[in-house]
Amino acid sequence: MSVIKPAVSYFFLVFLCGFVLGVVRELWMLQWLSQRNAELMEMPVILLVAWLAATYCVVRPSKKRRDSHFLLVGLLALILMLGFELTVVLGLRGLTLSAYIESRDVISGGAYVLSLMLFMLMPWLVHKFSERNTH
């Protein structure tokens, strides 16, 4: 099994969830919360979805793979995520990359970068967790 199919599946599930949560945040949550708080509240949900997606799309079908397989899946999924973020999301918002970076809150922006790193590592982390629990 190559890394492409699990990476695309993993990326798609997490991106779809993030897109839906982004719509909910923009249309409803910002009426009661600040942008920062709304973004910070959605990050644990996204990370939970990433854990579940990594479990079902990557680790279960690939249990006998080496660590490098899971790291490559995460890296490819991150490249897809950043590609979509920079084209689809910025396009929908009508922002340039520099305007998007300038508009980011320091705290929620930093948490977002951390969540992207966890997203990239999640297939490997789930693999290590499941490997540890089966031995």
Per-residue pLDDT reduced to its tens digit, 15-64: 999 999 999 998 999 999 999 999 999 999 999 999 999 999 887 777 67
Encoded tokens for 40: 């910070």
Residue 94 DSSP SS3 = coil
The CA-based dihedral angle spanning residues 68, 70, 71, 76, taken in that order and rounded to the nearest 10 degrees: 120
Mean pLDDT of the chain: 90
At residue 130, what are phi and psi to the nearest 5 degrees?
Answer: -70, -35
**What is the DSSP secondary-structure string of 3-21?**
SHHHHHHHHHHHHHHHHHH
| pTM score, whole prediction | 0.89
